[in-house]
Amino acid sequence: MRYRTLGGTGIEVSVHCLGAMMFGAVGNADHDDCARIIHTALDQGVNFVDTADMYSAGESEEIVGRALKGRRDDVVLATKVHFPMGEGRNRGGNSRRWILRAVEDSLRRLDTDWIDLYQVHRPDHTTDVEETLSALTDLVREGKIRAFGCSTFPAEEIVEAHVVAERRGLHRFRTEQPPYSLLARGVESSVLPVCARYGMGVLTWSPLASGFLTGRYRRGLPIDLTSGRAALTPARFDPALPENVTKLDVVERLVEVAEDLGCTLPELAVAFAAAHPAVTSVIVGPRTTEQLEALLKGASLTLDDATLDRIDAIIPPGTNLYQPDGAWRPPSLTDPSRRRRPLADRAAA
């Protein structure tokens, strides 16, 4: 396993990062089996583990904390804050009030004295970014976290956060965690260049494109829309929809690339994300030990320029063939009132 420096933090992390989203009720509910997955990853050189408070409502953090007993000093541990935790007001978001409460809860569940990388899971337009950065800076100074970053932020908000940090004398986001895959290359346009400009570490999520790059969904084969991810978002997988026909056609061409290289489609997908110069680490989120071992098997796969040129011809740089599950969309797109003047004020005359 190779290692890269995480932005300007001086922390060295493995190019593969073990994602813990599938640990707990939403994925693998067997805590002992999840611990075996974590130990297998560590034994094969992975030293970077990423979780979040909202994964299985905190259960993932508890699993990770127990599995790291006796090995904590050798692991770079990352978690996140933002999504609501429980019912009631003020139990989510990026406010100082919530961050200071949430970090204590995460430290307790992880059973650790410090978090190496504490990430803001999504933007929060109800909270001034200065408020968020100020709270996170205080946590660094208190020793509860070593560094902090953001996740799935658009480029303009990353820039704004850096400007605010510089003007106010606050610590800045050291990392960004964007969705990035062969089918979702949109971040190549601005997010990844901005991260490179500011010397940020980048850990990417969903390299298998919500399952589309596992090899499970192929053109001409029946797709079960009642189980797995397809049951959660059937419109994303329904082969009767034109946009999915396009994805399946692209997958077939990518399978040909993988076969010519003598690797699997998932190995190709992870190696592709790791090949970008702005990417520090690629998060792989297995549910079983077998899935983990299959992905780690391709860790040494190197994609040469000819292969990357071939991929660019199949799906051009900066192109999104789909919106990744859970990707943040700004209010300017989700709230119609942000795009429409009052009815009486819409006409030109």
Catalytic residue numbers, as ranges: 55
**101-104 contact pairs (CB < 8 A, 24+):** 102/53, 103/139, 103/144, 103/145
> Residue type for 317, please?
P
Pairing between strand 3-5 and 12-14? antiparallel
The residue among 286, 214, 300 whose CA lies nearest residue 41 is: 286
Among the listed residues 31, 84, 39, the one whose alpha carbon sits nearest the alpha carbon of residue 62: 31
> Which residues neighbour 72 within 8 Å (Cβ) at sequence distance 6 or greater?
112
Burial class (CB in 10 A: 0-12, 13-18, 19+), 105: middle
CB 170 within 8 A of CB 135: no
**What is the separation of C-alpha 281 from the centre of its chain, rounded to a whole number of angstroms?**
10
How far apart are alpha carbons 73 and 86 in whole angstroms?
Answer: 31
**Spatial distance between the Cα atoms of 109 and 61, rounded to a whole number of angstroms:** 6
CB 17 within 8 A of CB 51: no
